[in-house]
Amino acid sequence: MKIGLGSYAFRWSIGIKDFQPAQPMTAMEMLDIAHGHGLSLVQYADNLPLDRLSAQEHVALKQRADSYGMALELGTQSFNAEELARYIPIGERIGSKILRVALDAEDALIPVPELAAQIRELLPDGKKAGLRFAIENHFNYPSPRMVELLDVVADDALGVCLDVANSICAGEWPMTTVKMLAPYAINLHLKDYEITPDPYGVGFRIHGTPLGEGRAEIEEILACLSHCPADMSVILEHWLPQTDDMEATLRLEHEWLERTVAAAKRLVPAKTAV
């Protein structure tokens, strides 16, 4: 498995919603950071959308990645046929093998046959560009519905971007999600989390931790994916909570990433880690 960096590891440094740093991290800066950590690739998701860059900037990004011996992957949020059609040539330009799409609540309202038909229309162009569509299990798209969608489309060019924690929000325990979606996985988002009780006993809170420091059953997750190709990408993310101090939050992203990368290199089997 190739260990890579996902742009959601730097949600605060890049900027999200009303949280905007004075100098947002760029796609090129993120690539340099991943290279500095000895990672094999970078996956740019919807929080760092590459459709805002010019074709020349895409080429420059690809050239820098090539010089590092690294690969690039592409992602977007929610199913929008026009947007995905626009992303296919970007994916081809940067040499991406994956186009990750995170389905969410609005997508869950689309009947599966209708969504499947729209996806089928895009697959031929994706294949020509060397892309496979990786549908990510997101907060409000249940995994059983995901399986139904994949089975209806029934095409090797469509698979799952398996996130190990997102589906908690959809009422699924992580290993239930992993076991359900692992047979379809072509991409992995690896993060960790903790569950802590409220100090007054009013329920509990689920929050992120650096990889290997929480409850995620990393070894069992990887065992469920032992059938996957050795070159499948494992994308590192984390759920770092925002603090009251912006500068402290930005520093913590780098600290968490360092701990997460160290854990990933330890936990992902050495014979397949790159």
Q: How far apart are the first and last CA of the chain?
A: 7
What's the chain's average pLDDT?
93
Within a domain: residue 274?
no
pLDDT value of position 168: 82
> CA separation (Å) from 62 to 83, 85, 118?
21, 20, 29
Within a domain: residue 80?
yes
Side chain identity at 225, as an amino acid letter? L
pTM for the whole structure = 0.94
pLDDT value of position 118: 92
Vertex 81: Cα angle to 155 and 121 (nearest 5): 40
Q: Look up the CATH number of the domain holding residue 144.
A: 3.20.20.150
In sequence order, which residues have a C-beta less than 8 Å from that of residue 145 and are 6 or more positions away? 108, 112
Within a domain: residue 273?
no
pLDDT digits (tens, 9 = 90+) for 77-119: 877 888 899 999 999 999 999 999 988 768 778 899 999 999 9
The domain total for the chain is 1
Half-sphere exposure of 140 (CA within 13 A, CB side): 9
Within a domain: residue 34?
yes
Q: CB of 93 within 8 A of CB of 66?
A: no
Place of tokens 């069992």: 220
Within a domain: residue 51?
yes
Within a domain: residue 127?
yes
Within a domain: residue 99?
yes
Place of tokens 């984390």: 238
pLDDT value of position 121: 94
Query: 23 is in which domain, residue-wise?
Result: 2-267
Within a domain: residue 145?
yes
Residue-level pLDDT, tens digit, the chain, 274 residues: 899 999 999 999 999 998 999 999 999 999 999 999 999 999 999 999 999 999 999 999 999 999 999 999 999 987 788 889 999 999 999 999 999 998 876 877 889 999 999 999 999 999 999 999 999 998 788 899 999 999 999 999 999 999 999 888 888 898 999 999 999 999 999 999 999 988 888 988 899 999 999 999 999 999 999 999 989 999 999 999 998 899 999 999 999 999 999 999 999 875 444 3
